[in-house]
Amino acid sequence: METVEDVTRMRLVGGDLALDFVNTRSGPPVGPPDDDVLTGYPELTAWGVHAGALTQAEATALRRLARDDPAGARATHSRARHTRDYLDEIFRSLAAGRSPSRSVLARLRDDEADALGHAQLDRAGTFGWTWRDDRTLARPLRPVVHAAVQLLTTGALDRIKVCGGCRFVFNDESKNRSRRWCSMDDCGTTEKIRRYVAARRTRATR
Ligand SMILES: [Zn+2]
């Protein structure tokens, strides 16, 4: 079983909260994922803290709430996974140059309406949505859903890409839009080694 510690080892390479949420499942570029860190409600709150969507105090309060309402916590964990499924579908479609279906966009709209229904406008320079006073189990999902809408409505959609070496999605913020890997330390390095070995093999057989 995953521990809360495993969640905090998850790399945040998406460049966006919604994409990092999609990346809580990892694995090869095609086929089913081979790892999932969202194994339960406590892991969802731990990921929220790790990704900067929740404070430690909020996470602690939410875990207490979850202990008092195990059925609600299970339902929210299941909702989180469904949310991740449709966000995955939306951003993977865009990365492949396709438009997401109307039905997944409608789900996102409904969840955004729900998220904003629990938000307040707080001033930090300009005004922005915060969930400081939201004491509901779905609190960790609110900023994720809102980030997805923000990315869709104000982001450069042609910058949304899938890693060439794994299933991670990311927002390519490089100047010339040339980023191909979730991270140079992982998939980028693996690819460099692969090319090096291939080139050496070619030289050796000449
Ligand atoms: Zn990768």
- Measure 179 CA to ligand 1 centroid, in angstroms: 11
pLDDT, residue 8, reads 73
Q: Model-level pTM?
A: 0.90
Average pLDDT over residues 174-196: 83
Separation of CA 100 and ligand 1 centre (Å): 22
pLDDT beyond 90 at 206:
no
* pLDDT at site 196: 74
Residues 4-21 have pLDDT tens digits of 667 777 788 899 999 999
Choose between 47 and 201: higher pLDDT: 47
Which residues sit with Cβ closer than 5 angstroms to ligand 1, an ion?
Answer: 163, 165-166, 168, 182, 187
Could you give the count of Cα atoms lying within 13 Å of 165 in the half-sphere of its Cβ?
16
What is the pLDDT at residue 138?
A: 98
Residues 94-104, mean pLDDT to the nearest whole number = 96
Tell me the residue type at 41.
Y
Q: Which two structure tokens, joined as six digits, stand for 171?
A: 């927002």
CA of 12 to the centre of ligand 1 (A): 11
Q: What's the pLDDT at 123?
A: 94
Residue 23 and residue 144: Cα distance in Å, rounded?
A: 12
Distance 68 CA to ligand 1 centre (A): 39
Tokens standing for residue 72: 């609600």
Average pLDDT, the chain: 92
pLDDT at residue 5, rounded to an integer: 63
CA distances from 164 to 22, 105, 127, 155, 184 (A): 16, 26, 38, 21, 11
